[in-house]
Amino acid sequence: MNSIFSIRKEIIEICRLIYTRGLVTATDGNISARIGENEILITPSGKNKGMVEVQDLVVIDLQGKKISGIMQPSGEYRIHTMIYQQRPDINAVVHAHPPYATAFSVAGISLMQCVLPEIILTIGAVPLAEYATLYTEELASSIEKYIKDYNAVLLKNHGVVTIGNDLLCAYHRMEKVEHMAKIIYLARTLGNIDVLTKEQIDSLMKVRESLGLSSISLCDTCENMCGIKSSKNNI
């Protein structure tokens, strides 16, 4: 694991990226990284992500107790602590409100179809969690049943959560989810979406294996049609 100082700097860099690329506005979103067995570094509550500074970051434990920091931790810290408790292999969490992906969540449409080869190689399917109230245990609970099997989850009428073995991985997955959502949206406006066939998906899974990548969770339809099994704890 990188030094705490380098992790602090990387969180700030990703705060700037999600803000400048329009994945959040104003004080939306939150980012965290594991820095110890029972400690995480998380962005503060109520500050524009384009303006967050190193000294603003807060250290909390996995029970949500503040350990150090001038500001208060993000009000959505429960999402982060739950994920780190459930996924010891995960070291970073990014939550943002990318417009196209969030629009799918508002419309009640998941991103579970196997459409883009690069998404199958890097993320897998993106399920849609049930609606839950912000800043409550209910919100963390709404994605708990998905987080063991998926690398990204749509939050109903809210946004997206992505996870990774490091901050850059979690951030890249956020970008990819939004890019996929935009492409699927545009394809829907054209009137047709060609889902990948069993043979095409099988070939992609062989590519994953040849690259030394772990197995990945795909949609229920793909599992039923293609005989592909989802697995847990996929980085």
Q: pLDDT digits over 17-59, tens only? A: 999 999 999 999 999 999 999 999 999 999 999 999 999 999 9
Alpha-carbon distance of 18 to 101, in angstroms, equals 14
Q: Do residues 125 and 223 lie in contact, with contact meaning Cβ atoms separated by under 8 Å?
A: no
Say what the pLDDT of residue 46 is: 95
Say what the pLDDT of residue 145 is: 93
Q: What are the domain boundaries of the chain?
A: 4-226
Q: Is the pLDDT of residue 212 over 80?
A: no
Catalytic annotation present for 39: no
Q: Which amino acid is at 71?
A: M
Going by pLDDT thresholds of 50, 70 and 90, the confidence category of residue 179 is very high
Global confidence as pTM: 0.90
Alpha-carbon distance of 26 to 1, in angstroms, equals 30
Q: Which amino acid is at 130?
A: E
Going by pLDDT thresholds of 50, 70 and 90, the confidence category of residue 217 is low
Going by pLDDT thresholds of 50, 70 and 90, the confidence category of residue 216 is low
Range scoring the smallest mean pLDDT among 38-42, 115-119, 200-204, 214-218: 214-218
Q: Do residues 174 and 122 lie in contact, with contact meaning Cβ atoms separated by under 8 Å?
A: no
The active-site residue, picked from 10, 53, 76, 138, is 76
> CATH number of the domain at 4-226, out of 3.40.225.10, 3.40.50.1000, 3.90.470.20, 3.10.20.30?
3.40.225.10
